[in-house]
Amino acid sequence: MPRKRKTPAPAADAATTAPKRTRKRAQLLKGFKDVLPKDEQYWDHVNRVIGKAASQYGYGKIQTPVLEDAGLFVRTVGKGTDIVSKEMFRFIDQGGDDICLRPEETAPVVRAYIEHGMQNLPQPVKLYYHLPMFRRENPQAGRLRGFYQFGFEILGAGGPVVDAQMILIAHNICLDAGLKPGEVTVQINSIGNETSREEYIKELTNYFRSKRKYLTAEEKKRLTKNPLRLLDALMTSKREYFEDAPQILDWLDEESKNHFMGVLEVLDALEVPYVLNPFLVRGLDYYSHTVFEIWPTDKEGKSQSAIGSGGRYDGLAEILGGQETPACGFAFGTERLILALKEHEVKLKAKKMPEIFLAQIGQQGKVQAMKLFEKFRKEGVGAYENFSKDSLKAQLDQANKLGVKYTLIVGQKEVLDGTVLVRDMESGVQEIINSDKVTSEMRKKLGSK
Ligand code: AMP
């Protein structure tokens, strides 16, 4: 008896019955953020403010690579800092090089200054940047692992006037961005030159030893690694135990004191508001003399996290093998500045939106509408379109939602006649305009030349 052959299931059935493969949804890394079009106006606004300040104060834009030799930060920011000891995205690459994603930009700027012989240019050299930074921190509101900083650096410039002008620029950026004078505070201090700092660090270490009972094991470890950074941290987390800590201002030598007094005098003369914070020491190894931070206040007048910070870093170029170069700079966190702008409901300049929607019917209509769109684009007249839609009703609904003044309709009849149907969206009145004249007619209607 012939064997019955199994008939294979029809292909279509197989497709419908086969279990659907579920794929893991791709996800953003923890602590990173996508910037979406809804926030575009804030980023454009910040870029405009920075660009304006840069051109007014004579700064040129610098862009350095995302990856750098890890040693660049170990040598400058310092081994005892959180940034270097635990936050860098650092790895050995395929060629055995110890590299990292940049956690900050002052060291790369100074590296570039030396590497491109900028010390031979007329001094000072003024550079600014707006670039992504990477630190493996514990993410929380306003604290990301991938974030943007913009900063201004002046190299080859000593003297207190320079520090004061940097603070002025940082403060003006906040005001130009739309924050009011009471909504940001400049905190300022001096950590003096190396000699006075060494003396102070000894005193501070003794002080903290006498307060060991208030320190956690982690903080005790920090005491041996970086007492200045510890002071910074403790003044935020448990200030009440350490109010009587020695203040660095009492340990400044003559030169350091004169420099600091000079900065304050210029700030007073230029009416830049500031508050002295005797415990602001910033823990990065490269700072000397003036250090400052910009703090926003929320609507209740409470301080949030700093939006910007900076200071003088006279020794940095030498650490990187360059010649002695007095320098000063600051950096702002872009996301934090934007948070402050949102908190204070700063009104941004509205972007000019198109007032025309180009609708089409049928394949020929689509092509003709696309040609028209290009004509408008070349003449600088903005227009919306949705060439993927076929239904005129859907396109008119979209035009309505967008609130345009006119919808231009191109169907088969208009293609044959060489015309465009122009619909006034408010009155519903429609008129026929010759395609050759439509751009100039629309310009007239919209009041642009
Ligand atoms: P710093 O380089 O640590 O002095 O930081 C300068 C500014 O960058 C700060 O005032 C913040 O506005 C911003 N910033 C620093 N770390 C972060 C972070 N993890 N996330 C977002 N912004 C940051």
Q: What is the DSSP string of 421-436?
A: EEEETTT--EEEEEGG
DSSP category for residue 182: G
Positive/negative CA dihedral, 83, 89, 92, 97: negative
> Are the CB atoms for 173 and 142 separated by under 8 Å?
no
Residue ranges covered by each domain of the chain: 37-193+253-343, 356-446
* pLDDT band, residue 362 (cuts 50/70/90): very high
Q: Do the beta carbons of residue 127 and residue 62 sit within 8 Å?
A: yes
CA 333 to ligand 1 center in whole angstroms: 5
Nearest CA to ligand 1 atom 16: 143
Instruction: Please return the burial class of 46, using the count of CB atoms within 10 Å of its CB with bins 0-12, 13-18 and 19+.
Output: buried
User: What are the tokens at 163?
Assistant: 């520090």
Alpha-carbon separation of residue 250 from 244, 245, 318 (angstroms): 13, 11, 28
Per-residue DSSP letter, 85 = I
CA of 375 to the centre of ligand 1 (A): 46
Give 4's pLDDT tier (boundaries 50, 70, 90): low
Distance from the alpha carbon of residue 143 to the mean position of ligand 1, in angstroms: 7
Q: Whose CA is nearest to atom 22 of ligand 1?
A: 333
Instruction: Say if ligand 1 is within 6 A of residue 174 CB.
Output: no
CA atoms of 354 and 403, how far apart (whole Å) = 9
Residue for token pair 């030396």: 114
220-253 burial string, b = 16+ CB within 10 Å, else e?
eebbeebbbbbbbbbbeeeeeebeebbbbbebbe
What is the edge-to-edge ordering of all strands in the sheet holding 125-134? 60-61, 125-134, 146-155, 327-333, 308-312, 288-296, 184-190, 275-276
Q: Is 114 in the pocket of ligand 1 (CB under 6 A)?
A: no
Q: Quote the strand ranges of 317-399, DSSP E.
A: 327-333, 356-360, 384-385
Contact 365, 415 (CB under 8 A): yes
**CB 149 within 8 Å of CB 332:** yes
Q: Is the pLDDT of residue 145 over 90?
A: yes
- The answer to whether residue 12 scores a pLDDT higher than 70 is no
d(CA 302, CA 268): 25
pLDDT of residue 238: 86
pLDDT at 42: 97
The CATH number of the structural domain formed by 37-193+253-343 is 3.30.930.10
pLDDT computed for residue 448 by the predictor: 66
CB 103 within 8 A of CB 86: no
Residue 1 in this model has a pLDDT that exceeds 50: no
Distance from C-alpha of 60 to C-alpha of 52, rounded to nearest angstrom: 11
Is the pLDDT reported for residue 2 higher than 80?
no
* Cα–ligand 1 centroid distance for 308 (angstroms): 7
pLDDT digits (tens, 9 = 90+) for 262-313: 999 999 999 999 999 999 988 787 899 999 999 998 777 777 789 999 999 9
Count of residues in the chain: 449
Residue the block writes with tokens 């310092």: 78
Probe residue for ligand 1, chosen from 145, 309, 313, 334 as the CB with the greatest number of ligand atoms within 8 Å: 309
pLDDT of 37 above 90: yes
Residue 317: CB partners within 8 Å, gap ≥ 6? 110, 113, 114, 119, 155, 323, 324, 325, 327
Per DSSP bridges, beta strands 184-190 and 275-276 are: parallel
356-446 has the same fold as 37-193+253-343: no
Closest atom of ligand 1 to CA, residue 307:
12
Going by C-alpha positions, the residue among 380, 355, 367, 353 that lies closest to residue 410 is 367
Query: Does ligand 1 lie within 6 Å of residue 105's CB atom?
Result: no
pLDDT band at 446 (very low <50, low <70, confident <90, very high): very high
The pLDDT of residue 141 = 87
**Per-residue confidence (pLDDT) for residue 6, from 0 to 100:** 53
User: Which of 143, 173, 232 maximizes ligand 1 atoms within 8 Å of its Cβ, making it the mutation to test the pocket?
Assistant: 143
The distance in angstroms from the start CA to the end CA of the chain is 91
pLDDT at 268: 98
Tell me, what's the pLDDT at 412?
96
Atom 21, ligand 1: which residue's CA is nearest? Answer: 143
Are 316 and 106 contacting, i.e. CB atoms less than 8 angstroms apart?
yes
- Say what the pLDDT of residue 222 is: 84
Residue with tokens 């949705």: 386
For the stretch 403-436, pLDDT in tens is 999 999 999 999 999 999 999 999 999 999 999 9
Name which of 90, 79, 76, 71 is nearest 134 in CA terms: 90
pTM comes to 0.90
| pLDDT higher than 60, residue 83 | yes
Contact assessment for residue 190 and residue 314, using Cβ atoms and an 8 Å cutoff: no
Nearest CA to ligand 1 atom 15: 333
To the question of domain 356-446 being in CATH 3.40.50.800, the answer is: yes
Three-state secondary structure call for residue 240: helix
Nearest atom of ligand 1 to the alpha carbon of 293 = 10
Lowest average pLDDT, out of 1-10, 49-58, 59-68, 274-283, goes to 1-10
